[in-house]
């Protein structure tokens, strides 16, 4: 498994360029882990006793992008892409999910997130979110952590599905 689209972040970039490059690298990693699989493989809950699937991770990533950039940073009213079902996070319920729709929504939310981040003058600028001040620096760092954690899950899922490994 090799990926030509992931670009290593610069080792000398400033804070903003470094954070956004690391986040884009993590986004590209999730796309890479899903590449070349069938709809059925993407929906497969490949690890016993777990509801995780690669498609569920893609849908979750779209929700996390929406929540942090549209709700928290912009203060926009943005209803969930997949409303909760019986108290459960619906993005992980993929049996009847449309693969193309999930990837399209994820890419749209990533584009919106990038555009939102670009409108903020400084990493240190803050917004009030639910009574707490948060900075763009915090949001970008949290998003890197979110993707990195779930990309670890994606590694295990992909290897279980077809044996493909990589980083």
Tell me the per-residue pLDDT of 101-149, one tens digit each, with 9 for 90 and over: 999 999 999 999 999 999 999 999 999 999 999 999 999 999 999 999 9
Q: What domain range is 47 assigned to?
A: 37-162
Domain presence at residue 102: yes
| Number of domains composing the chain | 1
- Tell which residue, 102, 133, 140, has the closest CA to residue 21: 140
Share of the chain above pLDDT 90, in %: 80
115 vs 8: which has the higher pLDDT: 115
Q: Note whether residue 9 is domain-resident.
A: no
Q: Do 108 and 66 form a contact (C-beta atoms < 8 A)?
A: no
135 is a domain residue: yes
pLDDT of residue 65: 98
CA distances in angstroms from 47 to 25, 102, 162, listed in the order given: 25, 21, 13
CATH number for the domain spanning 120: value is 1.20.120.450
Residue 24 lies in a domain: no
For the segment 98-113, what is each residue's pLDDT rounded down to a tens digit?
999 999 999 999 999 9
pTM: predicted TM-score of the whole model, two decimal places = 0.92
Q: How far apart are the C-alpha atoms of 24 and 131, rounded to whole Å?
A: 29
147 domain-assigned: yes
Residue 103 within any structural domain of the chain: yes
């Amino acid at each position: 498994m090799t990926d030509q689209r992931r670009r290593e972040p610069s080792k000398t970039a400033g804070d903003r360029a470094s954070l956004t490059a690391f986040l884009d690298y993590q986004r590209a990693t999730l796309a890479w882990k899903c590449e070349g699989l069938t709809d059925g493989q993407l929906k497969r809950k490949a690890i016993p006793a777990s509801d995780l699937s690669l498609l569920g991770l893609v849908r979750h990533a779209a929700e996390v992008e929406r929540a942090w950039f549209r709700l928290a940073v912009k203060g926009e009213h943005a209803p969930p892409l997949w409303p909760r079902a019986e108290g459960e996070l619906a993005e992980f319920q993929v049996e009847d999910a449309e693969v193309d729709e999930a990837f399209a929504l994820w890419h749209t939310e990533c584009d919106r997130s990038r555009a939102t981040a670009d409108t903020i003058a400084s990493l240190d600028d803050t917004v009030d979110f639910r009574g707490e001040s948060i900075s763009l620096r915090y949001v970008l760092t949290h998003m890197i952590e979110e993707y990195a954690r779930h990309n670890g899950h994606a590694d295990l899922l992909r290897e279980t599905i077809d044996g493909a490994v990589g980083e």
